[in-house]
Copies of this chain bind each other. A is one copy, B any other.
Amino acid sequence: MRELTVDLGERSYPIYIGEGILDQVGELFIKHKLSNASPLLLVTDSNVAKFHLEPVVKKIQEAGYKVATHVVAAGEKSKSLSVLEEVVATALEAGLDRKSSVIALGGGVVGDLAGFVAASYMRGVRFIQIPTTILAHDSSVGGKVAVNHPLAKNIIGAFHQPEMVIYDTATLKTLPDRDVREGLSEMIKHGLIWDAGFTAWLEENAEKLVSLDQEALQYGLYEGCKVKAYVVSQDETENGLRAILNLGHTIGHALEAVASYNELHHGEAISIGMVGAAKLAVKLGNPEHIYTVTKRILQKFGLPTRLPAHLDTDEIMRAMMHDKKFQEGTMVFIIPTEIGKVEINKSVSAADVREVVEQLKQEA
């Protein structure tokens, strides 16, 4: 089992990564001194429940814990205040108190929802992340939790750090291929913003990663989480450095808002967004190879690099202007200045962005 620490003073916590480590979930709870006098609540979704709910609950119970469960519908729609209210009802009926913990078993949606339940139930209880997707190696680390509002994604939330992250790479074997690839998109982002060596390793190991080679996967998740953990430890509540994690996300979020979910998953939108950021970088005078290398890597992972031509540029621009990463009217973009290096550029002109959006529709 690999172990990594997210260093946040008294809120520090470990990330455990390994194949089959969910067998030890009960021991890990005991090690972390979760109270067995207070019931736990495990939140998962209908897809994950099919494969993992029963064995995980059994292991938790065998370790002497009472655990209630709440299964939400799979998909983004469950990240709503009304589903939050339902989960809280389950928590109340199960008698969760201030010493209870909420466990997220699943991907980003479950983690964000259960995390905001943990952040807000009785003004905050302990929280445990058990990610079951590759994409969640990003969302499960760093304490950002939220639900959506009909008018904006992730707009109601909190910073609430987990007690631990338990990453069992065996659970990834049940992921559809498309989910594997989109998850690797965030892993590539972690390379591109911080670590040229890791980025090169990713390119070399694209095939192994896509085919879920366990050794490659564990190393990739470990390194990806390491970048995320370091950045978060420097800037827990996104006042500065943490913004670099948004590479590809300004355009990416706008694409998600404008395209149908089936057309573009999060990691795919981010992939196109990273190509856009690389193009902007070159336009701003950074070396041309930033664009060619970024695009080449993403294509090796079978990720999209072209913006679907039928998406309306005006709509995309409007969606960007509502993005919460705009502060006081200034347009903020994360711009790569080298492979493995980015800067926070607060004065990117909307005209340049519009041009890049148009060009992204012409990409090979």
B-binding residues in A (CB < 8 A): 35, 37-38, 81-82, 84-85, 88-89, 92-93, 97-99, 119-124, 144, 146, 149-152, 155-159, 237-238, 322, 324, 326-329
Contact of B92 with A151 in the complex, beta carbons under 8 Å: yes
Query: With the chains together, A92 CA to B152 CA distance in Å?
Result: 8
Q: How far is the CB of A243 from chain B (nearest CB, A)?
A: 11
Q: Do residues B35 and A124 form an inter-chain contact, with CB atoms below 8 A?
A: no
24 A-B contacts (beta carbon < 8 Å): A38-B328, A81-B85, A85-B156, A88-B149, A88-B156, A89-B149, A89-B150, A92-B155, A93-B151, A97-B327, A97-B328, A99-B328, A120-B156, A120-B157, A121-B155, A121-B156, A122-B157, A123-B157, A123-B158, A123-B237, A123-B238, A124-B159, A124-B237, A158-B158
Nearest residue in B to A158 (C-beta to C-beta)? B123
* 20 additional A-B residue pairs with CB within 8 Å, beyond A38-B327, A85-B149: A37-B328, A81-B81, A81-B84, A81-B85, A84-B156, A88-B155, A88-B156, A89-B150, A92-B149, A92-B152, A97-B324, A97-B326, A97-B327, A99-B327, A120-B158, A122-B155, A122-B324, A123-B146, A123-B158, A123-B238
Asked, given contacts A120-B120, A158-B120, whether A89 binds B328 with beta carbons under 8 Å apart, the answer is: no
What are the residues of chain B within 8 A of A124 when measuring CB–CB?
158-159, 237
User: CA separation between A37 and B329, bound complex, in Å?
Assistant: 8
Taking CB atoms, residues of chain B closer than 8 Å to A92 are 149, 151-152, 155, 322
Q: Report the separation of the CA atoms of residues A81 and B149 in the bound assembly, to the nearest whole angstrom.
A: 11
Chain B CB within 10 A, most for which of A85, A120, A329: A120
- Docked CA distance A341–B92 (Å): 33
Nearest Cβ distance between residue A33 and chain B, in whole angstroms? 14
**Which residues on B sit within 8 Å (CB–CB) of A99?**
327-328
| Closest Cβ–Cβ distance, residue A131 to chain B (whole Å) | 20
Question: Residues of B contacting A237 with CB < 8 Å?
Answer: 123-124
Residues of B within 8 A of A238 (CB): 123
Which residues of chain B are within 8 angstroms of A152 by Cβ–Cβ distance? Answer: 92
Q: How far is the CB of A347 from chain B (nearest CB, A)?
A: 15
A324 interface neighbour in B81, B98, B151, B326, Cβ under 8 Å: B98
Q: Are A35 and B328 in contact (CB under 8 A)?
A: yes
Q: How far is the CB of A239 from chain B (nearest CB, A)?
A: 9
Complexed CA–CA distance, A159 and B123 (Å): 6
Q: A342–B326 Cα gap in the complex (Å)?
A: 50
A156: chain B residues within 8 A (beta carbon): 84-85, 88, 120-121
CA distance A16 to B43 in the complex (A): 44
A163 shortest CB reach to chain B, Å? 16
Least Cβ–Cβ distance between A230 and chain B, in angstroms: 20
Ordered nearest first, which 6 A-B pairs have the shortest CB separation?
Answer: A37-B328, A81-B81, A123-B157, A120-B156, A92-B151, A122-B324
Chain B residues with Cβ below 8 Å from A149 are: 85, 88-89, 92
> Can you name the residue of chain B whose Cβ is closest to the Cβ of A330?
B37
How far is the CB of A43 from the nearest CB of chain B, in Å? 15
Q: Report the separation of the CA atoms of residues A322 and B150 in the bound assembly, to the nearest whole angstrom.
A: 32
| Cβ A98 vs Cβ B327 within 8 A | yes
Residues from chain B with a CB closer than 8 A to the CB of A158 are: 119-120, 123-124, 158
| Residues on the B chain within 8 Å of A155, using CB | 88, 92, 121-122
